[in-house]
Structure 1
Amino acid sequence: MTHAFLTFLLVLSVLAASATLARRLQLAPAIVFLLVGGALAFTPGFPPIEMKPEGVLLLVLPPLIYSAGVSMSWREFKFNLRPIAMLAIGCVIFTTCAVAVAVHFALGLSWSVGFLLGAIVSPPDVVAPLAIARRIGLPHRILVVLEGEGLANDATALILYRFAVMAVSTGAFSLSTATGTFAAIVVCEILFGVAVGWLSLRLRQWAHDPRVEITLSLLTPYLAFWVPEHAGGSGVLATVVAGLYVSWNGPLLISAATRLQGIFFWDFATWLIEGVLFLIVGFQTRALVETSKYLHLGTVLSAIAITTAIVIAARFIWVFPGAYLPHLLSKRIRAREERPPWRAIAVVGFTGIRGVVSLAVALALPYTLANGDPFPDRDLILLVSFGVIFITVVGIGGTLPFVSRALGVSEYGNYEARHEREKEIAARRQLVAASRKELNRILKERELPEGLARFLEARHETRVRALPEPPAKEGDFTPATRGAAMVREIIAIERKLLHKLLREGKIADETRRRIERDLDLEEAVVDNREKNSPL
């Protein structure tokens, strides 16, 4: 137990150092985590750290998927459902088949093993592409599509994976049976996810305690995932649906205190899980190299090169017809949506970064078949999966910013961010104007004490003064965030005075905490406005 805890502390230390290094180098954290983990795996004296596939699939995957679902907008998910489904279902199946055909004819692997390998490497990661895409400022709709794809594609891949493992183990496969089972799993998981989301919100309403509510929110993804997974499904789709349900119905049912604390909790939890996962993937490098000694090096390298090339090419082959054919074939789609620019489609095609789920399901492969024979090509599948992950994370993840800038997509994303900021300013002013009308009505209809009336008036005037100025012309505005540095300076002075009063015994610690919380909230508001400003 002590050894495991010390190893955990070591991983956390490496994670913090790697994240700092990534920030200093201005690189995507996933790339640095993977490279640092791989380097440490060969460092003499560094303890071997193994990835437990059941730990990834049953313990850390549910909260990652759920938190992504909660942060996803149901309205935008529904509006972009067609491109999301084309990628999360169509592209995953197409990539699986393409890999199966390539490795069967090029490497001589059996059809069932080829489909198994394809199912493992077909789903892009939900973490790394989005982190890079947000950092380089891709357009909002691309981010929504990528996030929606990352939420749903694991469900498709895991279902295909189960069918493929069954086909390898038994030597039998029925397309009609698999299709019917796939449809039944999708329908049942959607219904179960809605039920779990509804139950979670109702229990949290009854709790009326932020600590209990956050605990219930942590239990929600495990309930949504484990029950369908135990019943033979994937669990991913139910967890996604539960998150989307909470995202759409939660704002009016979750208290402000719970939301403030929950945002911090989930932000830290997802960052910690994602970072540790990519580090652990890197830590597997040494064990995988040891495994490769029992295979012909040329065969391993050829398999990695062919599979990676097919995975990347299949996505490009799929995304362009998938984006343009619906516009050509449907008058309703042409009337509702603009034809997407080819540059944006090319960037979507270039975001096929594979991640920890692919390696986890590869590691979860059984060692033997039902009859006791060794599972065919298990070590080769494992090595190829790791090779595809490494090449796509480092290669595609490292070059995506340059590709995006070269195609001008990041520039459009920055313009879109400025336009969205202008709409945010308009919305803030509209809210304040509406609250002014309601305040006038309340003061007119109710006999309020003079002190309370002055307090409400002063609150409104404070909100008015904090509003950003409307843009003088398109793309030009002077938000209040330009005074953020001065506000922080004033808050810092107040903090020093507050602690001076505490040291002199003029206030109690509890009083200091209450005042300090108000200052923290005010500084958080300033940070939020500055962070979301494109200037």
Structure 2
Amino acid sequence: MHQQLPFILALIAAIILIEMLASKMRVAYPVLLVVAGLLISFIPGLPAVKVDPNMIFFIFLPPLLFDSSWNISFKEMKKWWRIIGSFAFLVVLFSAFAVAVITNYFIPGFTLVFGFLLGGIVSPPDAVSTGAIKKFVKMPKQTLAVLEGESLLNDASSLIIFKFALIAVGTGHFVFHEAFMSFSWMIIGGIGIGLLFGWLFLQAHKRLPTDASSDIVLTLIEPYFLYWIAEKTHSSGVLAVVTGGLFLSTRRLLFLNSASRIKGYSVWESFIFVLNGIVFMIIGLELPEIIAGLRTDGIALQTAIMYGALVTAILIVARTLSSYVALLATFIFRPGVLPHRGDRRRMFRIPLLLGWTGMRGVVSLAAALAIPITLHGEPFPHRSLILFITFVVILLTLLVQGLTLPYIIKRFDLAGSANGMSEDEAKIEVRNKLVIETVRLLKELHKKGLCTDLHLEYMIEQWERKLHEPERQRLSEESKRNYIELLTRQRFFLEELNKNPELDEDVVRLQIYQIDLEEERIKLF
């Protein structure tokens, strides 16, 4: 391990530099990381990268899903639950079926079972890719809600398809009622375990004398524990993590104080960034070993690339068709929730956008690598080809869809909000309502006999001024720059003040931390 440590550290350093470059280019960093991993893999003398699929499933997947479920809007998930459910289960099944039928026809020796095995691997869009790309691409709110919601749930449905296809390959037969019972338990058991242990973790946070550090450590072990318990009971670890994450995220104000939330956000942001970077870099680094397997099987590289492009096209077409079917069903049964009802042209372009946003990533890679090397003592049929096709699908969806998505949104004018309210307008509305409620609460306290509290009277005056003179409270860009410059100079002054050996450094650091919070608050306006 210590021999590979320099390579791992260099890899993390490269991830940081690539993320900086991606931010400068305004490109989602998974795109550049996959390409960088691909280029690095051809450098001679580097150690071969061999990935244990269990490592990806257990080390990477739980925290990535937990973070996505923690940050998603549960309100939006409930609003669009029908289409999210259909995309997470029905569309995944339809995509896997389409891949199975067409690959069975075009790829020599590929039976329907192997087609379903491949379909289960490549059918789910990736939550990690979606989360990374949304930072650089302004998508319609309802489209983003559907993408985030389905990407949390479709991993479970695709892995179930993969599992049963793998069993069918190994045994040579498929028992429907056994598969149905197992499928039902995976879903019910995964959701039940997520809710039960999510509640237990919530009680632990509330009842134990935790501080910010212990709260953060608990949140770090929670996804691993949820996943491990669910997998031990043969239910869905993915659903357990997602359900537990959603349960806890909607109750975060009940068991996490402000210090835990502020510090936890920073810890999780850095942790997830490193995990994301390593996973997407691994996707590129794995290519040489996959190509070597193709050569062993006697499959021409050009032929394998053609198969990969074919499967990618199938997935995009299947997803786009499903999007239009979902729009048609909504138009017939629930026309009141249709986005952009007043603009038919724009409304019918939304499914095209939804069909173009199915980037693949970590789950597809882990599932493909989980295919056993041997079957009954013989090499597993088509393993290298399935691995290569999966790699091509991940690469093409990240590069082609990820890079062209901003152009499509701009070209078809799809960035606006469905309810006609811009993000800035929504911020102003929420802020005004908060000010009104704050003034009401302060006056209520004032009437309870706190008239002698001069600070309370001052607070009422300040908040009423925000209500009646909002333009004076709003900072211009120049004012922001000047204020941030003032805060910067305050920090430098405190650093100089800290040179006094008689002054407690913790006091100075606390003051600097408060200044940091103030700067972050100003940047949000």
Q: TM-score, normalised by structure 1?
A: 0.91
2:439–2:463 contact (8 Å) kept in structure 1: no
Separation in structure 2 between the aligned mates of residue 251 and residue 215 of structure 1, nearest angstrom = 17
Stretch deviating more after TM superposition (46-55 or 488-497)? 46-55
Where 2:216 maps in the other structure, the secondary structure is helix
Deviation digits for residues 76-106 of structure 1 (CA, Å, limit 9, x no counterpart): 1111111111111111100101000011111
Q: Using the TM superposition, give the Cα deviation of residue 360 of structure 1 relative to its aligned residue in structure 2, in angstroms.
A: 1.2
Separation in structure 2 between the aligned mates of residue 497 and residue 163 of structure 1, nearest angstrom = 65
Separation in structure 2 between the aligned mates of residue 132 and residue 301 of structure 1, nearest angstrom = 25
Q: Using the TM superposition, give the Cα deviation of residue 44 of structure 1 relative to its aligned residue in structure 2, in angstroms.
A: 2.2
Change (3 A) 1:234 1:469: farther
Deviation digits for residues 99-152 of structure 1 (CA, Å, limit 9, x no counterpart): 000111111311211110110011111122343234221111111110001100
Change (3 A) 1:342 1:488: same
2:133–2:402 contact (8 Å) kept in structure 1: yes
Stretch deviating more after TM superposition (298-307 or 81-90)? 298-307
* Aligned counterpart, 1:381: 386
Separation in structure 2 between the aligned mates of residue 497 and residue 133 of structure 1, nearest angstrom = 39
* Aligned counterpart, 1:73: 73
Separation in structure 2 between the aligned mates of residue 466 and residue 63 of structure 1, nearest angstrom = 41
* 1:10-89 mapped onto 2 (5 Å cutoff): 10-89=10-89
| Residue 158 (structure 1) aligned with residue 159 (structure 2) | yes
Q: Using the TM superposition, give the Cα deviation of residue 263 of structure 1 relative to its aligned residue in structure 2, in angstroms.
A: 1.1
Separation in structure 2 between the aligned mates of residue 470 and residue 143 of structure 1, nearest angstrom = 31
* 1:296-311 mapped onto 2 (5 Å cutoff): 296-297=299-300, 298-311=302-315
Equivalent position amino acid for 1:364 in 2: A
Separation in structure 2 between the aligned mates of residue 268 and residue 246 of structure 1, nearest angstrom = 20
Q: Using the TM superposition, give the Cα deviation of residue 462 of structure 1 relative to its aligned residue in structure 2, in angstroms.
A: 5.0
1:130–1:146 contact (8 Å) kept in structure 2: no
Deviation digits for residues 317-356 of structure 1 (CA, Å, limit 9, x no counterpart): 211112212432x2xx224545581111110100111112
* Aligned counterpart, 1:168: 169
Q: Using the TM superposition, give the Cα deviation of residue 190 of structure 1 relative to its aligned residue in structure 2, in angstroms.
A: 1.3
Deviation digits for residues 220-239 of structure 1 (CA, Å, limit 9, x no counterpart): 11122112223223311111
Equivalent position amino acid for 2:140 in 1: P
Equivalent position amino acid for 1:219 in 2: I
* 1:260-271 mapped onto 2 (5 Å cutoff): 260-271=262-273
Equivalent position amino acid for 1:224 in 2: L
* Aligned counterpart, 2:486: 490
1:428–1:467 contact (8 Å) kept in structure 2: no
1:97–1:118 contact (8 Å) kept in structure 2: yes
Which of 395, 419, 424 is matched with 1:421 structurally?
424
2:123–2:315 contact (8 Å) kept in structure 1: yes
Q: Using the TM superposition, give the Cα deviation of residue 520 of structure 1 relative to its aligned residue in structure 2, in angstroms.
A: 1.0
Separation in structure 2 between the aligned mates of residue 455 and residue 52 of structure 1, nearest angstrom = 61
Separation in structure 2 between the aligned mates of residue 11 and residue 88 of structure 1, nearest angstrom = 34
* Aligned counterpart, 2:319: 315
Where 2:255 maps in the other structure, the secondary structure is coil
Separation in structure 2 between the aligned mates of residue 227 and residue 159 of structure 1, nearest angstrom = 17
Equivalent position amino acid for 1:67 in 2: D
1:65–1:151 contact (8 Å) kept in structure 2: yes
Equivalent position amino acid for 1:186 in 2: I
| Residue 342 (structure 1) aligned with residue 348 (structure 2) | yes
Which of 349, 353, 356 is matched with 2:359 structurally?
353
1:69–1:151 contact (8 Å) kept in structure 2: yes
Which of 249, 252, 268 is matched with 2:251 structurally?
249
* Aligned counterpart, 1:533: none
* Aligned counterpart, 2:405: 400
Separation in structure 2 between the aligned mates of residue 354 and residue 69 of structure 1, nearest angstrom = 18
2:38–2:287 contact (8 Å) kept in structure 1: yes
Change (3 A) 1:464 1:357: farther
Q: Using the TM superposition, give the Cα deviation of residue 504 of structure 1 relative to its aligned residue in structure 2, in angstroms.
A: 4.4
| Residue 524 (structure 1) aligned with residue 517 (structure 2) | no
Change (3 A) 1:469 1:72: farther
Separation in structure 1 between the aligned mates of residue 398 and residue 239 of structure 2, nearest angstrom = 25
Change (3 A) 1:380 1:521: same
Separation in structure 2 between the aligned mates of residue 292 and residue 224 of structure 1, nearest angstrom = 37
2:435–2:466 contact (8 Å) kept in structure 1: no
Where 2:374 maps in the other structure, the secondary structure is coil
* Aligned counterpart, 1:439: 442
2:128–2:362 contact (8 Å) kept in structure 1: no
Separation in structure 2 between the aligned mates of residue 30 and residue 61 of structure 1, nearest angstrom = 16
> Structure 2: where are the runs of 5+ without partners?
none
Equivalent position amino acid for 2:83 in 1: P
Where 2:498 maps in the other structure, the secondary structure is helix
